[in-house]
Structure 1
Amino acid sequence: MHRIRLLTALSAATVLALPLTHATPSLGADGRAAVPEPDYTITAHAGESGPEISDTMYGVFFEDINYAADGGLYAELVRNRSFEFLPVDNRSYTGLTAWTPRAVGGGAGTATPVNDGSRLNERNRTYLQLSLANTGGGTYGVSNSGWNNGVALEAGKRYDFSVWARSDTAGGTPLTVSLRDETGATAYADPVRLQVNGDTWKKYAGTFTASATTDSARLWLQGEGVGTLRLDMVSLLPEDTFMGRENGLRKDLAEKIAALKPEFVRFPGGCLVNTGSMSGYDASSAWQRARAYQWKDTVGPVEERATNANFWGYNQSYGLGYFEYFQFAEDIGAMPLPVVPALVTGCGQNRATDDEALLQRHIQDTLDLIEFANGPVDSEWGALRAKMGHPEPFGLTHLGVGNEENLPAEFFERFAKFRAAIEARYPEITIISNSGPDDQGALFDQHWAQNRAAGVDMVDEHYYNSPTWFLQNNDRYDSYDRNGPKVFLGEYASQDNKLFNALSEAAYMTGLERNADVVRLASYAPLLANVDHVQWRPDMIWFDNDQSWSSANYQVQKLFMNNVGDRVVPSEASGKVIEPKPITGGIGLSTWATSVAYDDVSVTAPDGTELFADDFADGDAEGWSPLANRGTWSVVDGAYTQTDATAQDTLVRAANITASDYDLELEAKKLAGAEGFLVAFGVKDSGNFYWWNIGGWNNTRTVVEKATNGGKETLVAREGHSVETGRTYDVRVEVRGTHVRLFLDGQLFQEFDDDQVTEPFAQVVTRDEATGDLIVKVVNAQADPAVTRVDLGVKVASRAQMTVISGDPEEQNTRTAQPIKPVTSTIRGVDSSFTRTFAPYSVTFIRIQTR
């Protein structure tokens, strides 16, 4: 057992509510400060050996989400450099997105994105046509706003410009390229002057040296004279990229990732991998967009790579492609871990291909990928790797097939074919399967049953839950089969970037390490977020066009990743925990992109005593108040109705049920929209409640979610269930303490028991075999200091190095302030047995030398 339970009256919500307090030592008979009685004990058995910790234990997961690639890790400063932004990527896009036509000094002309036979190549189809009419002098052209409404420059730094161009004007067209402000009045570098000659595509280049520092420059391109000037692949890259690489990575972001010392890099996604069309590019058909990420689209000369509609609602250029991912992993000493589609879509799309030829093509593409990474220079794909500048193999050892599929049977049928083909040719490759998008439920169980039965090497688990979930599930992997597939925890986070979230993840990571014989790889997700383009939060590293900052979660991850150790030292801990409390509070009605009518709402005690009732017969809903300022609620035809079928996350509340046992009953009817209806109970406020989401996820599943301080976790799920429009459903929620049964039209539909204990104190001890150090890792995710007796069972040095991250649990790092950071000091008085008070809301690492 991981921890002895000592009961306390604290509730889970109280963990955040208590004030910061510090213990004041009492005085002993000799007048000296007495050692306080410990609240916790840690007993380590330093003479024994626990599980070996994998040398790939912690890594990073990169997905092009939140503009993480273009405008982020990829150093390109020009947005929409090849004029390929189209409405299929985002409804607001045009070929001139981020570009502004400019006439200077009386110049004239037109700027038009064109896709015709004069294109640069079949994969780079749209170009900019400048029809120049500068008959009275002056120039005409365009300017580019860069990312985050500005091109960032640093005084003294060099920037390489290039463009592919052609001109139909005899004698050519002079083209002036400059870095200026929005008005054009202020120059930030001497201009680059080019002469575009001939009506065939050629690459032209030049270099700027910035004369000033700014985050709001524009790249100006101005043509002289008359005629047609065609431009494509307009690029501006800093020479000062990470490791000085051409077509390289933004230095500050890459350095922050490298500072984590990740042991692997998982790429290119997530939902990018298994969404969209699985077909490839076909030059004989219309240009295909919204394809699943396919590695062959992303290699070779940059101007010949595809662009694609990103699943997260924008365009991705593939300037950062598979070669660059492999190279980055090598540069930071990490193992590359690519993930390929298994031809079963996920992330809400839920389709499986029956095209055997297409499946076989993807299997061959995967074999070709391994050859690209590891093959000799005289092989087809090894030769391409060498031509791109890396004749040595990249040393690929692990490969993921598929990502978060909601169709486990269809997925595994296809996965088995990938696996057989890979093992036949490359038996040394570890092939990673997955367990779907949730941490539990029928789909999760089916995925795992298939993986176990087939003897799969490793299974990729993903989950995003509340901090409370992480504090309640430290022992998740204690019960996993030690002889079954190993676990790759490929995506996890606690749904915010506050210190308390980071501490809950830290507590959970002690459990990952304690179970290092099962959990072999783990990576927080997502990695990067452009502060002005956010599709998902929380994120580890935030940035704008010239700054980046580390979240509290980053600081915790870095502390663990830089102090892993080689082997777990067996240890036990005892102390206070937080016992569950009955589910009480208000009741609520909600909708998500759906119009719903609710009626005959009642709450009764088990003996029939009425606790609340509203049939809306009087035409009003005075007892109800909105907790989210969304949607349009009113009484219509004797029912409380939310009429806006586009509004998301609406919520109204009534009553305050203090009884531990009660029944909530009502009628619900979907009127229009994409989903079903949501019934809430145990409502404390807008961030703390339970709701039964009937017909959620585009009307494909029914789930009970628990919200804690704004973060949601799934308690129970049923797949394949949808709600009919116009049909009235009888809904009943039966609450008995922490046990809940849910009935739909009189039939038991789902049930759960929210009875897990919350453990705000967690620990693990590991050994660094190179130095002999013991690393004692302690998390105290509560308002009280934790007076702790530590028994190591071995002689140690009296001085040790201690690193602490602590602070206000609601605090987070921002662009303007980063209060959450580690503090390292030397402590004395360490012995084989010693007492230490761990600060409120803290994670502490103590490195102790053994004698």
Structure 2
Amino acid sequence: MSRPRTRTRWRLSLTATGLLAASFVIPAPVNAAAEDTTDYAITVDPKASGAKIDDTMYGVFFEDINRAADGGLYSELVQNRSFEYSTDDNRSYTPLTSWATSGTAKAVNDDGRLNARNRTYLSLDGGSSVTNSGYNTGISVEEGKVYNFSVWARAEQASALTVTLADSEGALAGARRVTARGGWTKYTAKFTATRTSANGRLTVAAEGPVALDMISLLPRDTYKGHGLRKDLAQKIAALDPSFVRFPGGCLVNTGSMEGYDEASGWQRKRSYQWKDTIGPVEQRATNANFWGYNQSYGLGYYEYFQFSEDIGAMPLPVVPALVTGCGQNKATDDDALLKRHIQDTLDLIEFANGPVTSEWGKKRAQMGHPKPFHLTHLGVGNEENLPNEFFARFKQFRAAIEAKYPDITVISNSGPDDTGSTFDTAWKLNREANVDMVDEHYYNSPQWFLQNNDRYDSYDRNGPKVFLGEYASQGNAFKNALSEAAFMTGLERNADIVKLASYAPLLANEDYVQWRPDMIWFNNHASWNSANYEVQKLFMRNVGDRVVPSTATGTPSLNGPISGAVGLSTWATSAAYDDVSVTGADGATLLSDDFSGDASKWTHTGGGSWSIQDGQYVQTDAAAENTMVSAGDPAWHDYDLHVKATKKSGKEGFLVAFGVKDTGNYYWWNLGGWNNTQSAVEQAVDGGKSTLISKAGSVETGRAYDIDIKVRGRQVTLYLDGKEWGSFTDNKPAEPFRQVVTRDAKSGDVIVKVVNAQAADARTAIDLGGLKTAKTAAVTTLKAAPDAVNTEKETAVAPVKSTFAGVAGKFTYTFPGNSVTFLRIPRK
């Protein structure tokens, strides 16, 4: 995931208060003011042939973001168990992060270490102790449950260790004692919790000099006994996903590609390389996570494969292609290193599928799984923003894999966005090379998802198939889930093109969030499903095997011209603006400001520091994000905007806004965005942004640019230094009423799936086209207020099951406002 792969992704997630933007507006039907019900018609054509839906249609994407692994799905309760945290991983980290010490406890990195890959250990004198605080509020235990303690210790003379588990109110279990003697040895004990607490602390006290490493506390009760946190694993399994994409997005293709160096002993900030993550956990080299923390690799490739098998899902790993992404944008030219990574990928396939007599199949068997994991799909690369460089390397990976494993589907990608020059170039290369499947990623506003239900209608039916590996609208409110549901009806309708799809990200620990929104939220003692999760679950468990073609009437809408005031802004940049003018289509001057006086015409609605300097309006804070100032009338339309802009310093360029309604609704031309690599027009609707047009390009510091924007009706033309840069027409309706009908071959059921993302009920005439069905349908409904959000303590969005006994060849059903409804109608 995927972050911050483009600057927009961060912008999309946050409002000025740091919270996720929480609303969008669906234009009401023309008769909604008169009554609370609108009329629609759905006509099913069972004689026509619809797309076959593969069993792999919906899955999940796991990335170690938001502490999804350590402190999350991996059930280890001790944080920094191996004392490998480092300032190289996070400036606030030390080897004793999450540990409190007494006496002469100290972290040591010398030749007395546990092994070459576990380099730092703890030295205690007699009378010293260490206490671990776990994750979130502490170590969470449940009364009556058993917890397995282990530690690696070394002591020249016998040294007793006393291990206790307690919170501020006292002991949570009886103390345990182990005696360490001799070289590095693993010692174990078990605790049975006498109370439930989310605030526990684990303490190890030494009676004599001793060295300690890998201090661990794991619940005995894990998902299918395989070491994963049970409630989180169960929630994922309950989705019934057909695949698991892992181990992530940005952490796959960022950092050093050289990998762990046994000779020098350490290589921090490596890209995620699978061989680092298998074998005994005490021999797995920890690594700096792209998202700002340390990852232990206790949840590694073996565990990913095993979890996929446990939940009946296809494993889908992603390996680095030696072109970094997520803002790094570098291509490795080391041919020997490229060949090593290609061989590592071949070894990965052997690890998953090879016989126990093979080198890597034997390693799998030694870990406890002699049978193969049945790997069939593998992704190479993730969101590379250098499409030509990526594809040159991808072809070498694909050729090597196809030569040895011709049955493996090798998946390419199309970069970090749903449109733009990178996307276009990548797709051109993928088509020309006859790639099997292309991984698309995008995070857009709810309005975008409502507008783009037809995205895949026009894709080439003879070209590469699509894996929609990461997508989400910008929030966890029910309105976000509604827009995603509406979009998913289009995915199913185009199931001959879209073969796999996974919402992202999957997990978020509420106290360690780098990315919003997320499907499943948790802390150290509880987890809860988002509204988006409920939509995904409803679709995953009611897919069907084939689309039954159907049509539906649309919602009347009135599209007036683009209207709004104008604005100036910056993002991590200092810039100066001058000679702003707005002229109506009739030539009348609406605004003119050369900043020779004050800035009284402008309203400051964002951050930053604005002032008049030498006849220019200057924003001087090069670290501030979204510093919007606006001027004019929100009712303005059909006008020409002129601005002179100069970048003074910082990472990016400048932002010129038009059609400004308020702080969450506007368009802006983003020049020199994405770390000064691209320019784009973005539309904000209630705080969520979508890209309408984008091109590669940068902005020079100190150079004055003439920017002109011509707005006519819903057509916008943009000029840079007098030359046309681009144009677009924003006239796509955000249709709130969407549907798809599928058939389940096993049960014979016809499944009518309807999304009504508006306040008004939708009274709908349904014509089954002569299908012979039962008279009673099983109904599952998700209905809630648009702003409803599920939390640890309140489940505002949950499925309601009922029956409907009025099914006939032609019948009427009223779909509630703001709802997703599935009607499962048995065939006679």
**TMscore range, shorter length:** over 0.9
Q: Distance in 1 between matches of 2:164 and 2:560?
A: 66
SS at match of 1:15: coil
The answer for the alignment partner of 2:39 in structure 1 is 39
Could you report, residue by residue, the CA deviation over 1:372-401 in whole angstroms, capped at 9, with x for unpaired residues? 000000110000000000000000000001
Q: Distance in 2 between matches of 1:815 and 1:639?
A: 50
Q: Distance in 2 between matches of 1:846 and 1:209?
A: 47
SS at match of 2:811: strand
Q: Distance in 2 between matches of 1:162 and 1:22?
A: 67
The change in CA–CA distance for 1:13 and 1:358 in structure 2 (over 3 A counts) is closer
The answer for the alignment partner of 1:841 in structure 2 is 818
The answer for the alignment partner of 1:116 in structure 2 is 110
The answer for the alignment partner of 2:84 in structure 1 is 84
**Are residue 211 (structure 1) and residue 211 (structure 2) matched?**
no
Q: How does 1:177-192 map to 2 (within 5 A)?
A: 177-182=163-168, 186-192=170-176
Unaligned stretches of 5+ in structure 2? 1-22
- Give the C-alpha shift of residue 752 in structure 1: 1.8
The change in CA–CA distance for 1:806 and 1:373 in structure 2 (over 3 A counts) is same
The answer for the alignment partner of 2:185 in structure 1 is 202
- Give the C-alpha shift of residue 795 in structure 1: 2.1
The answer for the alignment partner of 1:673 in structure 2 is 650
| Equivalent residue letter for 2:602 | W
| Equivalent residue letter for 2:89 | D
The answer for the alignment partner of 2:64 in structure 1 is 64
Q: How does 1:398-413 map to 2 (within 5 A)?
A: 398-413=377-392
- Give the C-alpha shift of residue 124 in structure 1: 1.0
Q: Distance in 2 between matches of 1:584 and 1:126?
A: 61
| Equivalent residue letter for 1:562 | R
The answer for the alignment partner of 2:619 in structure 1 is 642
- Give the C-alpha shift of residue 615 in structure 1: 2.1
Give the aligned length.
805
The answer for the alignment partner of 1:236 in structure 2 is 217
Q: Distance in 1 between matches of 2:496 and 2:149?
A: 51
The answer for the alignment partner of 2:324 in structure 1 is 345
SS at match of 1:479: coil
Q: Distance in 2 between matches of 1:299 and 1:555?
A: 34
Q: Distance in 2 between matches of 1:114 and 1:670?
A: 49
Could you report, residue by residue, the CA deviation over 1:471-491 in whole angstroms, capped at 9, with x for unpaired residues? 111111111111111111000
Q: Distance in 2 between matches of 1:395 and 1:258?
A: 19
The answer for the alignment partner of 2:808 in structure 1 is 831
Q: Distance in 2 between matches of 1:253 and 1:686?
A: 37
Q: Distance in 1 between matches of 2:192 and 2:374?
A: 38
**Are residue 175 (structure 1) and residue 152 (structure 2) matched?**
no
The answer for the alignment partner of 2:203 in structure 1 is 220
The answer for the alignment partner of 2:740 in structure 1 is 764
The answer for the alignment partner of 1:424 in structure 2 is 403
Contact 1:22 1:785 in 2 (8 A): no
- Give the C-alpha shift of residue 408 in structure 1: 0.9
Contact 2:28 2:557 in 1 (8 A): no
**Are residue 712 (structure 1) and residue 696 (structure 2) matched?**
no
**Are residue 624 (structure 1) and residue 618 (structure 2) matched?**
no
Q: Distance in 2 between matches of 1:235 and 1:804?
A: 44
Q: How does 1:208-287 map to 2 (within 5 A)?
A: 208-225=191-208, 227=209, 229-245=210-226, 248-285=227-264, 287=266
- Give the C-alpha shift of residue 13 in structure 1: 6.1
The answer for the alignment partner of 2:20 in structure 1 is none
Deviation >3 Å, runs of 4+: 16-25, 577-581
The answer for the alignment partner of 2:727 in structure 1 is 751
Could you report, residue by residue, the CA deviation over 1:577-631 in whole angstroms, capped at 9, with x for unpaired residues? 435432211211111111112222211113431111222212x322222223x21
The change in CA–CA distance for 1:21 and 1:209 in structure 2 (over 3 A counts) is farther
When structure 1 is superposed on structure 2, of 631-640 and 694-703 the one drifting more is: 631-640
Could you report, residue by residue, the CA deviation over 1:63-103 in whole angstroms, capped at 9, with x for unpaired residues? 0011110001110101111111111111111111111113x
- Give the C-alpha shift of residue 48 in structure 1: 3.8
Q: CA RMSD in A?
A: 1.7
Contact 2:30 2:557 in 1 (8 A): no
| Equivalent residue letter for 2:766 | V
Superposition TM-score, scaled by structure 2 size: 0.95
Contact 1:21 1:785 in 2 (8 A): no
Could you report, residue by residue, the CA deviation over 1:703-732 in whole angstroms, capped at 9, with x for unpaired residues? 11111121111111111x222222222221
- Give the C-alpha shift of residue 470 in structure 1: 0.7
Contact 2:28 2:758 in 1 (8 A): no
Contact 1:580 1:758 in 2 (8 A): no
- Give the C-alpha shift of residue 788 in structure 1: 0.7
| Equivalent residue letter for 1:519 | V
Match of 1:373 among 335, 352, 355: 352
The answer for the alignment partner of 1:690 in structure 2 is 667
Could you report, residue by residue, the CA deviation over 1:342-389 in whole angstroms, capped at 9, with x for unpaired residues? 111111111111110000000000000000000000110000000000
Unaligned stretches of 5+ in structure 1? 1-11, 26-35, 103-108
**Are residue 803 (structure 1) and residue 780 (structure 2) matched?**
yes
State, as a whole percentage, how many aligned pairs show the same letter: 65
Contact 1:580 1:754 in 2 (8 A): no
Q: Distance in 1 between matches of 2:558 and 2:494?
A: 24
The change in CA–CA distance for 1:656 and 1:332 in structure 2 (over 3 A counts) is same
The change in CA–CA distance for 1:419 and 1:14 in structure 2 (over 3 A counts) is closer
The answer for the alignment partner of 1:444 in structure 2 is 423
Contact 1:21 1:840 in 2 (8 A): no
Match of 1:734 among 705, 710, 715: 710
Q: Distance in 2 between matches of 1:398 and 1:370?
A: 10
| Equivalent residue letter for 1:188 | L
Contact 1:16 1:809 in 2 (8 A): no
Q: Distance in 2 between matches of 1:454 and 1:18?
A: 46
Could you report, residue by residue, the CA deviation over 1:620-671 in whole angstroms, capped at 9, with x for unpaired residues? 322222223x212222222222211111222222212523311111122222
Contact 2:717 2:726 in 1 (8 A): yes
The answer for the alignment partner of 1:475 in structure 2 is 454
- Give the C-alpha shift of residue 733 in structure 1: 1.5
Q: Distance in 1 between matches of 2:406 and 2:314?
A: 18
SS at match of 1:608: coil
| Equivalent residue letter for 2:212 | L
When structure 1 is superposed on structure 2, of 142-151 and 597-606 the one drifting more is: 597-606
- Give the C-alpha shift of residue 180 in structure 1: 1.1
Q: Distance in 2 between matches of 1:321 and 1:64?
A: 11
The answer for the alignment partner of 2:134 in structure 1 is 146
Match of 1:453 among 429, 432, 437: 432
The change in CA–CA distance for 1:389 and 1:748 in structure 2 (over 3 A counts) is same
Contact 1:22 1:784 in 2 (8 A): no
Contact 2:58 2:501 in 1 (8 A): yes
Contact 1:580 1:756 in 2 (8 A): no
- Give the C-alpha shift of residue 575 in structure 1: 2.7
Q: Distance in 2 between matches of 1:612 and 1:374?
A: 68
Q: Distance in 2 between matches of 1:452 and 1:301?
A: 43
Q: Distance in 2 between matches of 1:190 and 1:754?
A: 67
The answer for the alignment partner of 1:661 in structure 2 is 638
Contact 1:584 1:659 in 2 (8 A): yes
| Equivalent residue letter for 1:712 | K
- Give the C-alpha shift of residue 744 in structure 1: 1.8
